[in-house]
Amino acid sequence: MTIAMSAKLIDGKAIAEEIRRELKAEVAELQQKYGKAPGLAVVLVGERKDSQTYVRNKKKACEEVGIVSFGTDLPEDVSEEELLKVVADYNADPAVHGILVQLPLPKHIDEQRVLDAISIEKDVDGFHPLNIGALAMRGRDPLFVPCTPKGCLELLKRSGVVMAGKRAAVVGRSNIVGMPAALLLQREDATVTVIHSRTPDAQKICAEADIIIAACGRAEMVAGDWVKEGAAVIDVGINAVDDPSAKRGYRLVGDVNFAEASEKASQITPVPGGVGPMTIAMLLRNCVDGATRTFAAEAAQ
Ligand SMILES: Nc1nc(=O)c2c([nH]1)NC[C@@H]1CN(c3ccc(C(=O)N[C@@H](CCC(=O)O)C(=O)O)cc3)C=[N+]21
């Protein structure tokens, strides 16, 4: 007989706060040493409420740790050329060490063309093909790793989860989360299976994993029987589901059925308060790393 476990909560909000404290001290050191602060440029196109909220939160988090934030808000019908001009100007601006173009972009704009235009030295989202390519290669290190998967790995590391020699399942294969998360786990010497919409026996395969990263964008898809007894579970999903009893009329759930999975997992992230706050903390981390490299290179000239 197996006794149902009750998982330990991985507190992303608290871990993100700790990281922001560490970054604040690093930024103060940079200021001391070079007399300059890191700068982050955030480009927002259109009026999506969720994007506006994320961008606002990112700028606020920057200010808290001493990163200078620059912002450009463009109308929904801005041309691709105009957006590319904004990116080019930030590429050339020595006060800017990181450029983030908030996604998704309106349909008339070629997203990949815009992301490709960001200088790889300022690609704090880590979405440039050259950064992703380096992430995929043994013996190479990208300048930047995408923030959400980087945050997932940081949560595992700071929670004492061993990855080397373990089986990991990544549910979802998106360019911004699933694919880079699988590459990161592989770099930590885990044996990784990527599960996607065409995977036969997804539940059975997932239930063999010691580590699960769920990023499929489907509310509560990873049910209790997808989770091996004692597994560590990282839930990337943020799905709004109708809930008349909630103040806003909806509540947020992850891609994991939390109630069921926490009976099986040894450790698990909540939604909200798990991966989300870490995504922002890793954006700040990337920005500080980029500025540190640039300041050192400038001082060596
Ligand atoms: N170029 C680009 N880079 C991104 O990194 C990027 C993007 N575009 N587009 C949208 C997604 C989404 N994303 C989140 C960041 C923080 C939370 C976050 O802080 N969530 C909190 C609050 C959730 C809430 O209450 O709404 C939590 O989970 O606890 C969530 C999601 C970054 N993204």
2, 65, 197 from 153: Cα distances, Å = 29, 22, 23
Please check the confidence at residue 1 and state whether its pLDDT lies above 90: no
- The CA 134 to ligand 1 mean position distance, Å, reads 25
The residue whose CB lies within 8 Å of the most ligand 1 atoms, and thus the one to mutate among 64, 279, 283, is 279
| β-sheet bridge partners, residue 44 | 73
Ligand 1 atom, smallest distance to 271 CA: 28
Check if 11 has its Cβ closer than 6 Å to any atom of ligand 1: no
Both tokens assigned to 8: 């330990």
Number of separate helices (H) and strands (E) present in the chain? 10, 11
Within 10 Å of residue 112's Cβ, how many Cβ atoms?
Answer: 11
Q: Is the CB of 101 under 6 A from ligand 1?
A: yes
Ligand 1 atom with the smallest distance to the CA of 148 is: 5
Q: 149-181, pLDDT tens digit by residue? A: 999 999 999 999 999 999 999 999 999 999 999
- The average confidence (pLDDT) of the chain is 97
262-291: burial string, b at 16+ Cβ within 10 Å, e else: bbbbbbbbbbebbbbbbbbbbbbbbbbbbb
Give yes or no for residue 280 CB within 6 A of ligand 1.
Answer: yes
- The answer to whether the CB of 238 is under 6 A from ligand 1 is yes
pLDDT, one tens digit per residue, over 42-94 is 999 999 999 999 999 999 999 999 999 999 999 999 999 999 999 999 999 99
Q: Tokens 């904004």, residue?
A: 86
Instruction: Tell me, in angstroms, the distance from the centre of ligand 1 to residue 149's CA.
Output: 12
277 Cα nearest atom in ligand 1 = 19
| 102 phi and psi angles, rounded to 5 deg | -65, 130
ipTM over 0.90: yes
CA distance 190 to 183: 10
Question: Is 125 a residue of the active site?
Answer: yes
Residues 77-86 as b or e (16 or more Cβ within 10 Å = b): ebebeebbeb
Tell me which of 11, 122, 123, 125 is the catalytic residue. 125
Place of tokens 């996607």: 196
What does the pLDDT read at residue 2? 60
- What is the tens place of the pLDDT at every residue in 83-96? 999 999 999 999 99
Contacts of 140 (CB under 8 A, 6+ apart): 134
